[in-house]
Amino acid sequence: MADNPKNISSKGLLKSPELYEYLLETSVYPHEQQPLKELRNVTASHPHALMATAPDAGQLIAMLLKLINAKKTIEIGVFTGYSLLLTALTIPDDGRITAIDPNRASYNIGLPIIKKAGVEHKINFIESEALPVLDKLLEDDLNHETYDFAFVDADKLNYLKYHEKLLKLLKIGGIVVYDNTLWGGTVAMPEESVAEAMKVGRDCTIEFNKLIAADTRIQISQVPAGDGITICKRLC
């Protein structure tokens, strides 16, 4: 069961699993829509279940989507589709999500639930690495400055490249959210105490966080929800 705190505790960055469980049980799960619960539970048995967007981060993303009345969005990194379904359930019926991931098999796990929820028509799933898709979108001037929102939850090595391209695609005032920007808390740990498997991601994330914090084209807020998310609003 994904609701079991023993399974979700490693996602939260709060000081105890009990505190994270409290937050989820009190404020997140009571408002989580049924299809999202279903998708979370289906994903819980996947060997890479921890890749799914944390429900508390998802709740914040849904609020942002509503606050800016997002209609046209991009998602980089779909996996089984938790954040994608969340976006599709939140934007209006004529909204559109360009969802990019080279792994269609993972997307297919969540697709029946997305279909059942009646929101598949809002999704244009593109089975590809994200960079060539973003480049293709940028070739057409008509796509520039037209997107309201983007969510990036994919290969950390490319976050800075995504950032440059997304800033051209986003409207002024549009928002891009980056996931995993605290990388399991390792960004603040001495290098020698970081597990080998986490090191590359940690180094990229530290570099990304530094550059994004110095980027005057955006307003940012880094929030310790899930594994850390950084919200960036395009200013100019």
Q: For ligand SAM, which stretch binds (CB under 6 A), given 25-33, 71-79, 88-96, 199-207?
A: 71-79
Kindly state the smallest distance separating residue 204's Cβ from ligand SAM, in Å. Answer: 13
Cα separation, 13 vs 236, in Å, equals 32
Order across the sheet with 123-126: list the strands: 123-126, 96-100, 72-76, 147-152, 170-179, 229-234, 218-223
Closest CB to Ca ion among residues 145, 207: 207
User: Contacts with ligand SAM: how many residues (CB under 6 A)?
Assistant: 21
- The option from Ca ion, ligand SAM, none interacting with 99 (CB < 5 to 8 A, set by class) reads none
Q: What's the CA dihedral at 204, 207, 150, 216 to 10 degrees?
A: -170
CB of 59 to ligand SAM, least distance (A): 13
Amino acid at 12: G
Cα distance between residue 114 and residue 209, in whole Å: 33
From the list Ca ion, ligand SAM, none, partner contacted by residue 3 (C-beta under 5 to 8 A by kind)? none
Helical (H) or strand (E) element with 219: strand 218-223
Pairing state between β 147-152 and 72-76 = parallel
Which of these ranges, 30-38, 103-111, 145-153, 196-204, lies near Ca ion under the rule CB under 5 A? 145-153
Q: Give one DSSP letter per residue of 143-182, joined into a string.
A: GTT-EEEEEE-S-GGGHHHHHHHHHHHEEEEEEEEEE-TT
Question: Should residue 180 be labelled a site residue for Ca ion when binding is judged by CB under 5 A?
Answer: yes
Q: How far is the CB of 58 from ligand SAM (least distance, A)?
A: 7
Q: Taking the complex as a whole, how short is the minimal distance between the CB of residue 163 and Ca ion, in angstroms?
A: 16
Give the H or E element holding residue 76: strand 72-76
Q: Is 1 or 235 the residue whose CB approaches ligand SAM more closely?
A: 1
Tally Cβ neighbours within 10 Å of residue 229. 27
Residue 73 binds which one of Ca ion, ligand SAM, none, with CB within 5 to 8 A depending on kind? Answer: none
User: Which tokens go with 144?
Assistant: 């520039």
Nearer to Ca ion, 50 or 189 (CB): 50
Q: Select from 155, 203, 207, 215 the one that contacts ligand SAM (CB under 6 A).
A: 155
167-206 residues in contact with ligand SAM (CB under 6 A) are none
Out of 8, 28, 42, 52, name the contact with ligand SAM by CB under 6 A. Answer: 52
Cβ proximity to ligand SAM: between 16 and 103 the closer is 103
List interacting residues with ligand SAM (CB under 6 A): 51-53, 76-80, 82-83, 100-103, 106, 129-130, 153-155, 158
